[in-house]
Structure 1
């Protein structure tokens, strides 16, 4: 009997240890990622190093003139890329300003910004039209479905003290909300 209870206790302890969550450190995550990349045949550290080696190899095989030309083209492409990023950032700022002027949230700039200012302006105008149409549709739907409150369409003055006494508590409270002066005069 003692052995059986001891086995059950050990089994329960083992289950409790399995149920307790273990803290995962950044090293554990890095190891898991590296292991997964190795399984699919990718080593990110090696690929960046290999790319640099390939670049150095390519440059070593080139003549001085080809090397100068290659470096110049690479600088030009880097400058073009920077210029495009800067232009896009400037256009995004301008877009946010235009959106704010139109009463639209500046967060929409990500959706309409473009490298070309004319295209961006058309995108903003189109977005403005779409949002205004959607808002107008929703407003019309709400106005069409809203039922008039009791007592607001008819003559409120037709309520007499006698008819007030016959009203339910809900009707009296509605009258209080819609016409407090009349309610006060009827309760005197």
Structure 2
């Protein structure tokens, strides 16, 4: 499974909230009127909100009633079964519930194992949910692909920034990138990435701090 750069590139988008969207209407106003002429009164705003809430309430009631009817139908079906059939149904339900619990436990264990591997490689555990696969083999393949893509992205970013960065006066000091943990936390992301590439073992000690 080939991973895309989307797992480590964060895109921040501003969410715009306006009355046309809240009311479910399109903005078809192409006039040259001033903004002040298009302001809504409080009563109009209240009416828009009331209609929207009524629409949401109707949807909730429809879903609730459908679920209620399904439960009634299931209860009626079970009532028509004999004792043996009801016992079989109960056994099936218990087995399904047990399998669901076991699946959740396994998923939690797999995620923990994935996080441990990420920690060992100096990668953020926040990517665990994206990298989890159907089994341990697939998960490991995902991690390997992600690590390669991550390193390539970091290297490209470092090389891009390094072109426009002037070496510090006095040069040569601290060439191994050894700084205290407190100093490391104050470094910009660019410098932290440089340390990751030049001294990954040291980077891991800081990351775990």
1:29 Cα offset (Å): 7.1
What residue number does 2:149 align with? 130
Q: 1:45 aligns with which of 56, 64, 68?
A: 64
Task: Report how many aligned residue pairs link the two structures.
Answer: 131
Matched, 1:92 2:111: yes
Contact conserved, 1:87 with 1:115, CA < 8 A, in 2?
A: no
Structure-2 residue corresponding to 1:34? 57
Structure 1 position 139, deviation (Å): 2.6
1:18 aligned onto 2:42: yes
Could you give the per-residue CA deviations for residues 20-67 of structure 1, whole angstroms, max 9, x where no partner exists? Answer: 965x99x997644123x28xxx62232222121111111122232222
For 1:75, the equivalent position in structure 2 comes to 94
The TM-score normalised by the length of structure 2 is 0.51
Using the size of structure 1 for normalisation, the TM-score is 0.56
Q: 1:45 to 1:147 in 2, by over 3 A?
A: closer
Q: Structure 2 unaligned segments of length 5 or more: list them.
A: 1-38, 171-209
Q: Name the structure with the higher helix share.
A: 1
What is the DSSP-based 3-state SS (H/G/I as helix, E as strand, rest coil) of the residue aligned with 2:122? coil
CA distance in 1, matches of 2:53, 2:94: 34
C-alpha distance 121-19 of structure 1, shift in aligned 2 (>3 A): same
Q: Which residue of 1 aligns with 2:84?
A: 65
User: 1 or 2 for the larger relative contact order (CA 8 Å, sep ≥6)?
Assistant: 2
In 1, Cα distance between the equivalents of 2:93 and 2:137? 30
